[in-house]
Amino acid sequence: MAKAETLETMQPNPEWDADGYEDAVATLGADDYTFKVWGGDWCGDCQDQLPNFGAALDAAGVDSSHIEHYPVEKADDGSKIGPRVEEYGIEYIPTVVVELDGEEVARFVEEEADPIAVYLAEQLSN
């Protein structure tokens, strides 16, 4: 599925080392997952986290047709505006929703102790 919009911050970080994340990479590529990514190229958290996540998906061999980008803007009141924001209850970015056969199976919201790839892989392994 071609995306009308993309997030520049999802460009894989060329310095990211997949060797340190073998289990996470294997899990992310282990099934026919769809990764829905909400973020903003203007967002500091997205700039810090999404390039490494993009690199993890690349290392996992996830086809670009299974990665959907949803660029988000911030309203004056701090709420997020963008495609499917209300449908998926997006309040903070980056948010990554992982779906399998149209059902949500994992979600990362804004910030966790582990990187996005590791955090999602742990949810998918449980």
Distance CA 18, CA 15 (A): 9
Q: Is the peptide bond before 94 cis (omega within 30 degrees of 0)?
A: yes
Nearest 5°: phi and psi at 52? Answer: -70, -35
Placement of tokens 């026919």 in the chain:
32
* Burial status of residue 24 (CB atoms within 10 A of its CB: 0-12, 13-18, 19 or more): buried
Q: What share of the chain is helix, strand, coil (3-state, %, to 5)?
A: 35, 20, 40
The amino acid occupying position 117 is: A
> Model confidence over 41-66: pLDDT tens digits?
999 999 999 999 999 999 999 999 99
Q: Which helix (H) or strand (E) holds 103?
A: strand 103-109
Placement of tokens 């060329």 in the chain:
14
Distance CA 40, CA 30 (A): 28
DSSP H helices in 4-115: 22-28, 44-59, 85-88
Model pLDDT, residue 3: 42
Which positions of the chain have pLDDT values less than 50?
A: 1-3
Placement of tokens 């997020």 in the chain:
80
Model pLDDT, residue 78: 86
